[in-house]
Amino acid sequence: MSDHERTFVMVKPDAFARGLVGEVVSRLEDRGLKLVGIKVENMPRERAEEHYGEHEDKPFYDDLVDFITSGPVVPMVWEGQDATRQVRQMIGETDPLEAEPGTIRGDYALDLGRNVVHAADHEDEGANEREIAIHFDDDELIDYDQHDAEWLY
Ligand code: RTP
Ligand code: MG
């Protein structure tokens, strides 16, 4: 367990097009997580292929890469106690039909592809570091004290 674990999160093109960037950011802020990196971009195809490399052999891989490069995305790095698990829980199940209401996908996702947000998988050890390194240079992530109170991260 780490009080300052960093996790990779990304607003997908469907959510960007629907004006849900602020909603996603707001939910993570409300949970008490700390934003240490954020940008908006059209993801280059090579980077999308690297990002979803674990799914290379799946039948939906090409569609997935097409979709994630179809419009602007917002890659972010958030920090907090067990941040990866926290964010995965807040995001909900991959399939919107299985995502609980109250989770981001449960409240906003349209279908299995257009599911609003990506987050590093807490069950895949190393996914975080790998994904952060794929999308951010070190100097794009900042160190700062959010609060004086020790019990806030
Ligand atoms: P993500 O990586 O995007 O955060 O989603 P996830 O961990 O919840 O799900 P993952 O298994 O990593 O799948 C990545 C994305 O691929 C699409 N998908 N399509 N057609 C299918 O059976 C299928 N399965 C997965 C989803 O858009 C999922 O978010
Ligand atoms: Mg995944």
pLDDT over 90 for what percent of the chain? 87
Residue closest via CA to ligand 1's atom 13 equals 94
Count Cβ atoms below 10 Å from residue 65 Cβ, excluding itself: 20
At residue 20, φ and ψ (nearest 5 deg) are -105, 10
Write down the pLDDT at residue 124: 85
Distance 146 CA to ligand 1 centre (A): 33
Evaluate if residue 27 carries a pLDDT over 70. Answer: yes
User: Mean of the pLDDT values across residues 8-29?
Assistant: 98
**What is the ipTM score, two decimals?**
0.95
* Exposure letters 8-29 (e unless 16+ CB within 10 A, then b): bbbbbbbbbeeebbebbbebbe
The C-alpha angle 141, 38, 74, rounded to 5 degrees, equals: 145
CA atoms in the 13 A half-sphere facing the CB of 22: 2
Q: How far is it, in rounded angstroms, from Cα 13 to Cα 73?
A: 5
User: Mean of the pLDDT values across residues 84-110?
Assistant: 97
Query: Which is more confidently placed, 81 or 146?
Result: 81
Q: How far is it, in rounded angstroms, from Cα 116 to Cα 111?
A: 9
Going through 89-148 in order, the beta strands assigned E by DSSP cover: 117-119
Protein residues with C-beta less than 5 angstroms from the ion ligand 2 = 121
Ligand 1, pocket residues at CB < 6 Å: 55, 60, 64, 94, 112-113, 115, 118-119, 121
